[in-house]
Structure 1
Amino acid sequence: MSTRTAEEIRADRTAAIGRALTALLAVTAYALAWIVKRSWRRLLPVYWVAAELALAWVAGPLGLSWQSVGIVALAIAATAAGWRARSRTVRAWRAAIAVVLGGYAAATVAAGGADAMAAHPTLTIAVPALLGVVLGWPWWHHLRHLTPAPAPAPVPAAGPAAEVIDPLTAHWQRRWEREVVAAKVCEGTTVVEVKEPRPGVTEALVRLSPGTKPGPLFKSGPDVEVALDLNEGAIGWRSTGKRAWLRVVLVERSYIADGVPWTGPTYANGRFEVARFADGSPGQWILSLPHDGVRGGLVVGSTGAGKSRALGTVIANALDGGVAVAIGDPQNGQSLPAWRDAVDYHAGVEKTLLLLRRVHAEIMRRSELLAGVGADAFDENDPRIRALGLRRLIVIVDECQLVLIPNTPIVALAEQAAETMRKTGVGLIFATQLPQMKSLGGSVRLRDALVAGNALILRLSNRGSGTTILPDDFVGDPFALPREIDGKTTAGMGYLRHSNRVGMLCRVPHLNEVAAAAAAPRIPVRWNVSEIDPASRIVLPGQHSPAVKAAGGAGGGSAVDKLRAAFGAGRKTTTVVEQAAPQTPAEWVLACLRRGPASAQALLDRPDCPVEQSQLYALLGRLKDAKRITPPAQRGGPFTIAG
């Protein structure tokens, strides 16, 4: 029988306790590693607090100065900012935590390091812990509520017709139900499929319940943006061809916030990119379609909203596609001056009016030529049309409100041209900065004919008075766009009416018009009608000129009709009576002044005044320069007829 000494027994017990502690530490370390691995993205950053305390503890024994600790803290912050994360928000908050706690560690070392921590444990432990909780909360909340929880594998749905639902679709199904439908927005809709075409962009297929109409959903974009906390114009809808299905595009990362660079013309098969949507997809302008002629359009935007860039993009792409371009500029060369030598340019109100009259005559002449060869619509590849020498033509009139004056014959002329142009290969594009129907002469017919082709609505400053120029089915709020967002200009931002991103913001490329005009090919305009005589009267198709009417009255009709007329017993006949063409604004002013002297304010106060204040003053100035009227002796006095 062996005997053991007390020292041996104590050594065995110490060894057993050591083994037990080692095993406990190993189990604890494994458990901590498992917890951190499985849930470190969901925990408040307590490990940052521990790192700060460890840095302060080891600084003393290692002899580190507070400057060295600060450098180490900055290195940790740089690593935290550059370390891969699910979003920029996570990186930013992670770097902020490292900077603040690293700075506190440097301050602790400067105050005495481990000695200060031993002397003031509450101050040196509680404060970092509190800072970690305060700074870590936004990070934790972002990860917890705004990112989908990781799933090991897709989970099949129950039932005989089981379908596999991927984690992304499941996440957006929960968010859509919890944040959108629960807020009484887009009620009767269900997300059934989701994909991410590019980072920060989500495209969802939405199922509509019976009785849910797609129309109101297209206009619910702002409410969805509020419900999901997205930026303005970040929602876009598009049809799928079935009433029960819609696609909605949600943008969490805008691709147009910093502008859209101009990379050259993109014309192909009658289409080109006139703007870029917030999700990075192209917004197309349809210039022509096969066997369908040429389409016009409407461009509206306030001063500085990017209207000239948009028109320059249209011109550059049209010339690149071999389409002739003519420009009417009522502002005497101030609109689109870079394109003066590249296209058929007409400066001034009178020349723009003559251009519109010539375009109308060209459209009517082309209609006769096409009917003569049996062509129902304009197709440049048709041998019959090539034999006629006809080619596509677009006519752009900027600041059209200066020439389309209500109750003038030019408005009726523009209506007929816009309603007939497509089948003749001519496209008419009007641009204005005033969002009222008065800018189009008050003609709803003209507005509808233009927006049936294309409509680009940029930022607008105010709604003004009167009927809005925006179409009834327009989706978007260009009046809510500010001039700047976070110090960045919104020039070029707006909405495309005909697009597969209804309600989503788009942006016109940052075009250098001078360089684009210099690089564009020169396409001459081939007119089939001669220039319009400025002294000629406007006669619409279907009306008879005075000469024709007189000839018909002198020698028209049969002998029997003449005898009946002589004895006052004529039969009932349908007589075509020429309607006198409405007065031009200049003729109206001269007629008023012939009745007696009148001031500018008196002319404006007349209920039949056909122009606005700025247009009247400009008209009076032109009449004065032409020496047709005499200005008043003092400001505000009456004008009189000259001579």
Structure 2
Amino acid sequence: MTTRTAQEIRSERLAKLGHALTALLAVTAYAVAWLVKRSWRRLLPAYWVAAELVVAWVAGPLGVSWQTVAILALAIAATAVGWRARSRTVRAWRAAIAVVLGVCAVATVAAGGPAAMAAHPTLTMFVPTLAGAVLGWPWWYHLRQRPPQPEPTPAPAVADVPAEVDPLTAHWQHRWEHEVLPAKVCEGTTLVQAVAPRPGVVEALVRLAPGTKPGPLVKTGPDVEVALDLDEGAVGWRNTGKRAWLRVIFVERSYIAGGVPWTGPTYANGRFEIARFSDGSPGHWVLTRPRFGVLGGLIVGSMGTGKSRALGALIANLLDAGVQVAVGDPQNGQSLPAWKDTVEYHPGVEATALLARRFHAEVMRRSELLAGAGVEAFDEDDPRVKALGLRMFVVVIDECQLVLIPNTPIVGVVEQAAETMRKTGCGLVLATQLPQMKSLGGSVRLRDAVVAGNAFVLRISNRGSGSTILPDDFVGDPFALPAEIDGQTTAGMGYLRNSNRVGMICRVPNLDEAAVAATSPRVPVQWQVPAVDPASPIVLAGHRAPATTAKTTTGGGSAVDRLRAAFGGGGRKSTTAVVEQVTPPTPAEWVLACLRRGPASAQALLDRPDCPVEQSQLYALLGRLKDAGRITPPAQRGGPFTISA
């Protein structure tokens, strides 16, 4: 049995009492903080009355003069005026409360502070409280009149709609509620308003419930078309600037089914109409943005889909805007024959490759000139740009898959030019029939550089093998477009990636290229670099030389630098890499090189972005290599090929 002294017992009790008081103070502080947090907006005038009484009471014992209290009251009034509020009226009432209570505090302190409050409690305490209550009434009333937050409610049937509800909105609310949502499409949305900008077109405002993401929602256009029994590509989406709201456009009467007439160039403010959407609104190609530079683009479309027509509309608008245009046609003048005498024309594969190399040199030269003049981004109205004599310049290369062969130096040249052209006032437009990365030399960086500006995808007949050329965020299904609908051609129909009608189909104007080219202005190209010698090596700025033999030259003419470079001493190196033109490997050598790295199936070889042949050619090549004993076929269908021992 242990015994404790009276001192130990008292110490233990005092410790327990201290713990209890600490816990009580913590709970009290939390409760006060919670109360203030929950009620400071509605009880703000009451808090200010309490603050006025506290100031008047402690000013005397602390020796605070009435002048100091007056300055403090003016500071509080200024804070009330500058504090953010819903309206100027709220700020005015807050300032009025601060001024009145401040005058009461100054008068109480000047009359003696606590002594005056003890001598005249009715006057010094009741008057400020009454003033705060009277002046606080508009504040409380304003909070009570806060507009209610909209809540998603089931849309009533058209027959049950009250008279004050717009009939058009009620009709589409009913269809959205009873046709779209039951099909498990656009779940978590509510259609709240509908308007008809033109006959046969409805634009609706849709609210998203918390947790609903707008990104996947804009890809549900085909499902909405099925649910509402609309034509293909008749639904488009528009952003509103707020994540909780989207606009959706329904087209019941297409404005492009019978074709779109050509009415002439439409260039204005850095953009022009290259196509017309199904709802009759223009689809723009953005050439330039203020203080941003010139943008390029990509046009994809199979044979007979209107790709040449789209390029014609593009070139006509560029020339009308005074833009210098050079065209590369690897098909020896068969791609864009109408523009041979209108723009600077380069027919043939070799001539187009030289055009790409000269364009790269032009971009690098312009970058050097603009940097020397202190220009960050190209602007034709900039006096410094005018003094250099530089104008916007766009190079168009049709059938670019004939030039951008995988594992060749020209791919690196075009890639580097596309990545750096924006700030120099140059743009590059690539067009191809094949929706594969091999059409761009297998370069994802080149694809991203050109589609960052514009992307116009027409009907595509075959997805092909390998990775697709379409960007990841592309919305639309150009593979599903038929060649004809009810006996009428769909030539010119496609999708614009960067537009305010996401997922809606559009169509190129039906222009007579020869007639438009004959009437377009001639804008001669003013090169800043000479023509490229075909025998000269390809030169890349920097040290990026993909899949080629590169030599890095050392800079500096001193003997010390040469000795350091010779013995690995870290002599100064320039940033220029000279790329030797080498003969690309044959398809057979390419297959053997891939199989030396490891076994691979025929499909795996096709999926490589640098595959130099098509599917049928690859299977024939594998058969020849197998017959020659160079490779061993797989044990089962679809298995990997290996190098023969």
Superposed, 1:196-207 pairs within 5 Å as 196-207=196-207
Query: 2:294 touches 2:425 (CA, 8 Å); kept in 1?
Result: yes
Are residues 1:353 and 2:370 paired?
A: no
The change in CA–CA distance for 1:548 and 1:215 in structure 2 (over 3 A counts) is closer
Number of the residue aligned with 2:302: 302
Query: 2:540 touches 2:578 (CA, 8 Å); kept in 1?
Result: no
The change in CA–CA distance for 1:558 and 1:404 in structure 2 (over 3 A counts) is closer
**d(CA) in 1 for partners of 2:584 and 2:184?**
56
Report the AA paired with residue 162 of structure 2.
V
Are residues 1:249 and 2:249 paired?
A: yes
Query: 1:287 touches 1:294 (CA, 8 Å); kept in 2?
Result: yes
**d(CA) in 1 for partners of 2:317 and 2:325?**
11
Number of the residue aligned with 1:272: 272
The change in CA–CA distance for 1:344 and 1:183 in structure 2 (over 3 A counts) is same
Number of the residue aligned with 1:218: 218
Shift of residue 184, structure 1, vs aligned partner: 0.9
The change in CA–CA distance for 1:262 and 1:155 in structure 2 (over 3 A counts) is same
In structure 1, the residue corresponding to 2:538 is in which secondary structure? coil
In structure 2, the residue corresponding to 1:155 is in which secondary structure? coil
Number of the residue aligned with 2:116: none
**d(CA) in 1 for partners of 2:465 and 2:614?**
14
Query: 2:552 touches 2:574 (CA, 8 Å); kept in 1?
Result: no
**d(CA) in 2 for partners of 1:201 and 1:558?**
72
Query: 2:550 touches 2:580 (CA, 8 Å); kept in 1?
Result: no
Normalising by structure 1, report the TM-score: 0.65
The change in CA–CA distance for 1:615 and 1:357 in structure 2 (over 3 A counts) is farther
**d(CA) in 2 for partners of 1:547 and 1:214?**
47
Query: 1:408 touches 1:582 (CA, 8 Å); kept in 2?
Result: no
**d(CA) in 1 for partners of 2:212 and 2:166?**
27
**d(CA) in 2 for partners of 1:424 and 1:437?**
26
Shift of residue 182, structure 1, vs aligned partner: 1.4
Number of the residue aligned with 2:506: 506
In structure 1, the residue corresponding to 2:498 is in which secondary structure? coil
Report the AA paired with residue 239 of structure 2.
S
Are residues 1:179 and 2:172 paired?
A: no
Query: 1:309 touches 1:492 (CA, 8 Å); kept in 2?
Result: yes
Superposed, 1:75-86 pairs within 5 Å as none
In structure 1, the residue corresponding to 2:360 is in which secondary structure? helix
In structure 2, the residue corresponding to 1:265 is in which secondary structure? coil
Are residues 1:612 and 2:613 paired?
A: yes
Give per-residue Cα distances to partners, 1:135-180, cap 9 Å, x unaligned: xxxxxxxxxxxxx9689xx837xxxxxxx52111111111101100
Superposed, 1:621-632 pairs within 5 Å as none
**d(CA) in 2 for partners of 1:314 and 1:515?**
15
Number of the residue aligned with 1:588: 584
Report the AA paired with residue 588 of structure 1.
P
In structure 2, the residue corresponding to 1:204 is in which secondary structure? strand
**d(CA) in 2 for partners of 1:372 and 1:615?**
53
Query: 1:298 touches 1:429 (CA, 8 Å); kept in 2?
Result: yes
**d(CA) in 2 for partners of 1:405 and 1:418?**
16
Superposed CA RMSD: 3.0
The change in CA–CA distance for 1:510 and 1:549 in structure 2 (over 3 A counts) is closer
Give per-residue Cα distances to partners, 1:46-89, cap 9 Å, x unaligned: xxxxxxxxxxxxxxxxxxxxxxxxxxxxxxxxxxxxxxxxxxxx
In structure 2, the residue corresponding to 1:314 is in which secondary structure? helix
Query: 2:537 touches 2:581 (CA, 8 Å); kept in 1?
Result: no
Number of the residue aligned with 1:457: 457
In structure 1, the residue corresponding to 2:540 is in which secondary structure? coil
Superposed, 1:355-374 pairs within 5 Å as 355-374=355-374
Number of aligned residue pairs: 445
Normalising by structure 2, report the TM-score: 0.65
Give per-residue Cα distances to partners, 1:382-424, cap 9 Å, x unaligned: 1110010000011000000000011111111111111111110
Query: 1:201 touches 1:250 (CA, 8 Å); kept in 2?
Result: yes
**d(CA) in 2 for partners of 1:399 and 1:205?**
41
**d(CA) in 1 for partners of 2:181 and 2:454?**
33
Report the AA paired with residue 253 of structure 2.
R
Report the AA paired with residue 509 of structure 2.
P
Shift of residue 192, structure 1, vs aligned partner: 0.7
Are residues 1:397 and 2:397 paired?
A: yes
**d(CA) in 2 for partners of 1:500 and 1:578?**
42
**d(CA) in 2 for partners of 1:551 and 1:534?**
25
Give per-residue Cα distances to partners, 1:451-473, cap 9 Å, x unaligned: 01000000000100000000000
**d(CA) in 1 for partners of 2:523 and 2:322?**
7
The change in CA–CA distance for 1:221 and 1:556 in structure 2 (over 3 A counts) is farther
Number of the residue aligned with 1:26: none
Report the AA paired with residue 389 of structure 1.
G
The change in CA–CA distance for 1:524 and 1:402 in structure 2 (over 3 A counts) is same
Query: 1:604 touches 1:612 (CA, 8 Å); kept in 2?
Result: no
Report the AA paired with residue 282 of structure 1.
P
Number of the residue aligned with 1:155: 162
Give per-residue Cα distances to partners, 1:8-64, cap 9 Å, x unaligned: xxxxxxxxxxxxxxxxxxxxxxxxxxxxxxxxxxxxxxxxxxxxxxxxxxxxxxxxx
What runs of 5+ residues in structure 1 fail to find an aligned partner? 1-147, 157-163, 593-600, 618-635, 637-643
Give per-residue Cα distances to partners, 1:284-322, cap 9 Å, x unaligned: 001112222111000000000000000000000000011
The change in CA–CA distance for 1:175 and 1:385 in structure 2 (over 3 A counts) is same
The change in CA–CA distance for 1:226 and 1:527 in structure 2 (over 3 A counts) is same
Q: 2:560 aligns with which of 549, 557, 561?
A: 557
**d(CA) in 1 for partners of 2:555 and 2:572?**
14
Deviates more, 1:514-523 or 1:539-548: 539-548
What runs of 5+ residues in structure 2 fail to find an aligned partner? 1-156, 595-609, 619-627, 629-645
Superposed, 1:403-414 pairs within 5 Å as 403-414=403-414
In structure 1, the residue corresponding to 2:338 is in which secondary structure? helix
In structure 2, the residue corresponding to 1:328 is in which secondary structure? strand
Query: 1:544 touches 1:578 (CA, 8 Å); kept in 2?
Result: no
Deviates more, 1:410-419 or 1:498-507: 410-419
Report the AA paired with residue 611 of structure 1.
P
List 4+ stretches of structure 1 deviating above 4 A.
Answer: 148-151, 543-556, 558-562, 570-580, 601-610, 613-617
**d(CA) in 2 for partners of 1:551 and 1:308?**
46
In structure 1, the residue corresponding to 2:304 is in which secondary structure? coil
Query: 1:205 touches 1:246 (CA, 8 Å); kept in 2?
Result: yes
**d(CA) in 2 for partners of 1:272 and 1:614?**
39
Report the AA paired with residue 212 of structure 1.
T
